[in-house]
Amino acid sequence: MSCPVFPADWQRWVDKALKTGNSAEVEALHNTYTACKSRTSQQVQHCFQNLENYWDFWIRYKNDKLLEKLPEYVREQDPEMGKLPALFKGNSYYTGWEKDLEECRVEKRNTPECNSVKGAIQINYLHSGIAVAMPAPISLLMIPGDRYDKYVIFLSDKNAQVFHADMLTMQKKDAKTGKPLDEKLILPFTQRAKEPQMHPMTETQRSGSCVSCHPNGLREIFPAPGSVALQDREKFSQIQEYIQSAGKVGYSKFFDVRHAGPAVGHRQYCTSCHNAGSDQDNFKFPGRSPLSGLTSWSQIYGKMTNKGNFCMPPRAKKDAGLLAYEEALKKVDQLPDRDRDDIVTAARSGGGVFENSKVMETNEKSPPLIDKNFEFKYDLPWQKKMLGILVKRRLITAEQKSLAEASLETNQKEGVELFRELQRDYQRDLLKWLKGGSVNCFSSPRYEETPSPASGEALEAGKAD
């Protein structure tokens, strides 16, 4: 075929070629534009800028290159940012470290090992199950520092045996100059097999999943009901408040998240908070980056439905049933640890608490959402099981249980439909964005309409239509 001639010709050709925004359409359009780029006008190049950035971004994501500069950056700044605290030296982190940490705190030892975890806060909890159906117990160790903070996450099996550890380092100051960074950086590290050493996430082929689940850097903790011990409640609140006050956090040294696509959730009020701090005077968590195609859609779905207890978008007013459900969970949290553990164990048995409806995703290395298949379920297995146990133990009445279940079913259906609406809106916004940010970018009068130089020349054989 021949290259389009006028910008208006490009407009008609792009409108015909780009119907859904899936990866096949974007790739074909990108290949055609690349072949014709040297013969296009300034206006056409302007309108194709988003699509060029988008495709280059997702090629990097597909090939696990988003954080390819992370190892070099850490070596140049401070290799200690990527290492476990000295407390773990000569001591397998699988056992013993919690006891060592407590001895450092109680005895106030002045040793390199104890100084490496000075001011550290450690809590144990069960993941809420947003990302996976049956997550393992988690132990989180937060170590604040002057130049950087470390968040070490230990994953355990059902027998509470640690089998893996990840670490997020939040850099606050430049290691060479000591000046605060305009945007705090998240530097992700993990293990290879069961080595005690940490490695930059990009060296383990997992950096894509890291930035998808942590697009804003830090995330608040959403523990499963009843999984935080009484003695950990104050520490849990301290960690949450610290995360909320972190300010602007991201990956600006490694990639530009704006190239991942337009912001998600305008009509669903996501951008009222996820707005990169554009309204910081009225913004509870300044610096939260917009959600985009980079964000894990399972995470968004989970927070809008039962997997995240309907925490997003924040509800201005909750119905009586949802309030009854939350009051029931508070009763579990207020029980002595032994009783609370018994209830959580009973609810987890046979799948129990974490037998959540699962969002199915395919083609993980393609641009998210448009190439994804989602399977929606309206069941509420663990919530109903928990409520049933509370009735048997006479912590709530059967009437309260019925009221809560009816509300949960309504909120679950509304959450799923809201997520579907968000998908449809995003697909429309993505198509507009890929076409230059407006439906008529190519044919707008911004530039004088002149033929593209050397236009009409045939594309090489084999180029995409």
Is residue 7 reached through a cis peptide bond, with omega within 30 degrees of 0 on the bond before it?
Answer: no
Report if residue 217 sits inside a domain. yes
pLDDT score recorded for residue 248: 80
How is residue 403 written in tokens?
């009221």
pLDDT score recorded for residue 194: 61
Least confident of 148-152, 158-162, 300-304, 439-443: 158-162
Do residue 166 and residue 293 come from a single domain?
no
Least confident of 50-54, 202-206, 232-236, 408-412: 202-206
Do residue 237 and residue 120 come from a single domain?
yes
Do residue 244 and residue 287 come from a single domain?
no
How is residue 294 written in tokens?
């980079």
The residue-averaged pLDDT of 335-356 equals 68
pLDDT of residue 279 exceeding 50, the answer is no
pTM: 0.82
Do residue 173 and residue 204 come from a single domain?
yes
Lookup result for tokens 């997003």: 312
Distance, CA of 5 to CA of 72 (rounded, Å): 45
How is residue 73 written in tokens?
């950056």
Rounded to 10°, the helix 398-434/320-333 angle is 110
pLDDT of residue 314 exceeding 80, the answer is no
Least confident of 153-162, 415-424, 452-461: 452-461
Least confident of 110-114, 120-124, 226-230: 226-230
Do residue 324 and residue 393 come from a single domain?
yes
Report if residue 26 sits inside a domain. no
Do residue 221 and residue 282 come from a single domain?
no
Q: Decide: 460 and 35 in contact? Cβ < 8 Å.
A: yes
pLDDT of residue 359 exceeding 60, the answer is no
Do residue 368 and residue 421 come from a single domain?
yes
Lookup result for tokens 């309204």: 279
Residue among 302, 390, 405 nearest 347 (CA)? 390
Q: How many helices (H) and strands (E) does the chain have?
A: 14, 7
Do residue 106 and residue 203 come from a single domain?
yes
Q: Decide: 61 and 208 in contact? Cβ < 8 Å.
A: yes
Report if residue 102 sits inside a domain. yes
Q: What is the percent of the chain with per-residue pLDDT over 90, rounded to a whole number? A: 22
At 71, the pLDDT band (50, 70, 90 cuts) reads very high
Last residue of a domain, one of 254, 272, 289: 254
Report if residue 441 sits inside a domain. no
Report the C-alpha dihedral over residues 269, 273, 274, 280, rounded to 10 degrees.
140
How is residue 62 written in tokens?
């597909």
Report if residue 62 sits inside a domain. no
At 386, the pLDDT band (50, 70, 90 cuts) reads confident
At 159, the pLDDT band (50, 70, 90 cuts) reads low
How is residue 397 written in tokens?
């009445």
pLDDT of residue 41 exceeding 50, the answer is yes
**Taking the mean position of all CA atoms in its chain, how far away is CA 136?**
19
pLDDT of residue 432 exceeding 50, the answer is yes
pLDDT score recorded for residue 278: 53
Residue among 200, 298, 327 nearest 251 (CA)? 200
pLDDT score recorded for residue 297: 80
pLDDT score recorded for residue 94: 55
Sign, Cα dihedral of 450, 452, 455, 456: negative
What is the SS3 assignment for 189-219? EECCCCCCCCEEHHHHCCHHHHHHHCCCCCC
Q: Tell me the average pLDDT of the chain.
A: 78
Do residue 238 and residue 291 come from a single domain?
no
Report if residue 376 sits inside a domain. yes
pLDDT score recorded for residue 215: 73
The residue-averaged pLDDT of 337-357 equals 64
pLDDT of residue 379 exceeding 70, the answer is no
Buried/exposed 303-325: b ≥16 CB within 10 Å, e otherwise: bbbbbbbbbbbeeeeeeebbebb
Longest dimension (CA), the chain: 82
Q: What are the distances in angstroms from CA 323 to CA 86, 172, 195, 295, 391?
A: 46, 39, 46, 30, 17
pLDDT score recorded for residue 31: 92
Do residue 100 and residue 239 come from a single domain?
yes
Do residue 283 and residue 303 come from a single domain?
yes
How many structural domains compose the chain?
A: 2
Report if residue 50 sits inside a domain. no
Do residue 233 and residue 315 come from a single domain?
no
Domain that holds residue 98: 70-254
The residue-averaged pLDDT of 441-448 equals 66
Q: What is the percent of the chain with per-residue pLDDT over 70, rounded to a whole number? A: 75
Last residue of a domain, one of 203, 232, 254: 254
Last residue of a domain, one of 218, 236, 254: 254
